[in-house]
């Protein structure tokens, strides 16, 4: 029988050309004011912040990004018949673009590929709203109710979706193998999933360039680049 690799915790988008926020060349290092653009209180209270946020989204490369070798390896593992669930802090949708069904991906921080209204239930493709911005609407309102639109991502000051988080915890605690990939494992509550999985008996494998607070619980620690390390690692796990 194949091992049950139920959870993969994968913030690996930088390998697909999507820049980070806090890193050496991250957006917030280059523009400290940019953090306000993704802070709910500032966003909802300042139309100028809303306008700047839409300009930033229009220039963001996320919608143009393509899955890399690591994303494709995860999808291939699922196609091999191994039970796979992905829990990710990324908002880029690259796991789905690589071939994983939506039901197998838990997006803790939401999705940048969708726009939502903050006043009514409307939601739709981000590309359509960005087209309105490109056509001259600097801060497009909801066409259903006139409310403020935003990306369907969790901003600073917003709670995680409790149902998504509860499902992520349940999946972690049921895992036979838990891979924590490309994460510092310092941002809670997502980071605690690695500890929960290990405490419940999962084989914890950490793939990250730098040490993490959960390395001592890991059965295996890999320091190689993610796009190089993950394909052979997952191929090994898929073997009977």
Instruction: Output 104 or 23, whichever has higher pLDDT.
Output: 104
Give this prediction's pTM: 0.84
Query: Which has the minimum average pLDDT: 12-21, 82-91, 154-163, 208-217?
Result: 12-21
Residue 19 pLDDT exceeds 70: no
What percent of the chain is modeled with pLDDT above 90? 67
Q: Taking the CA of residue 164 as centre, how many other CA atoms within 13 Å lie in the half-sphere pointing to its CB?
A: 21
Cα–Cα distance for residue pair 212/53, rounded to 1 Å: 32
Active site residues: 109
Q: Residue 16: count other Cβ atoms within 10 Å of its Cβ.
A: 22
How high is the pLDDT of residue 239? 62
- Average pLDDT of span 158-174: 94
Instruction: Output 203 or 62, whichever has higher pLDDT.
Output: 203
Buried b / exposed e over 160-181, threshold 16 CB at 10 Å, is ebeebbeebbebbbbbbbbbbb
- Into which CATH architecture does domain 20-60+111-153 fall? 2-Layer Sandwich (3.30)
pLDDT digits (tens, 9 = 90+) for 41-67: 999 999 999 999 999 888 876 677 889
CATH number of the domain at 1-18+67-109+159-240, please?
3.40.50.1220
Residue 16 pLDDT exceeds 50: no
Q: Are both 1-18+67-109+159-240 and 20-60+111-153 of the same fold? A: no
The residue ranges of every structural domain in the chain are 1-18+67-109+159-240, 20-60+111-153
Longest CA–CA separation in the chain, Å: 56
CA distances from 174 to 22, 81, 178, 223 (A): 32, 18, 10, 26
Cα–Cα distance for residue pair 97/45, rounded to 1 Å: 34
DSSP state at residue 197: H
């Amino acid at each position: 029988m194949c091992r049950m690799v139920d959870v993969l915790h994968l913030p690996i988008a930088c390998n697909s050309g999507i820049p980070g926020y806090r890193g050496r060349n991250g957006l917030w290092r280059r523009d400290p004011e940019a953090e306000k653009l993704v802070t709910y209180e500032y966003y909802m209270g300042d139309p100028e912040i809303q306008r700047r946020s839409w300009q930033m989204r229009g220039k963001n490369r996320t919608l143009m990004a393509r899955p890399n070798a690591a994303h494709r390896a995860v999808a291939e593992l699922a196609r091999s018949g191994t039970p796979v669930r992905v829990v990710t802090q990324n908002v880029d949708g690259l796991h789905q673009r690589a071939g994983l069904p939506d039901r197998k991906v838990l997006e803790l921080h939401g999705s940048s590929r969708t726009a939502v209204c903050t006043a009514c239930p409307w939601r739709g493709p981000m590309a359509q709203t960005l087209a309105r911005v490109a056509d001259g609407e600097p801060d497009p309102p909801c066409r259903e109710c006139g409310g403020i639109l935003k990306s369907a991502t969790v901003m600073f000051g917003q709670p995680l979706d409790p149902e998504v988080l509860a499902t992520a915890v349940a999946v972690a605690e049921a895992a036979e193998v838990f891979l924590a990939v490309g994460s510092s494992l310092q941002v809670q509550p997502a980071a605690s999933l690695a500890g929960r999985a290990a405490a419940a008996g999962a084989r914890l494998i950490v793939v990250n360039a730098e040490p993490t607070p959960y390395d001592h619980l890991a059965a295996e620690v890999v320091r190689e680049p993610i796009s190089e390390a993950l394909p052979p690692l997952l191929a090994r796990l898929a073997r009977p």
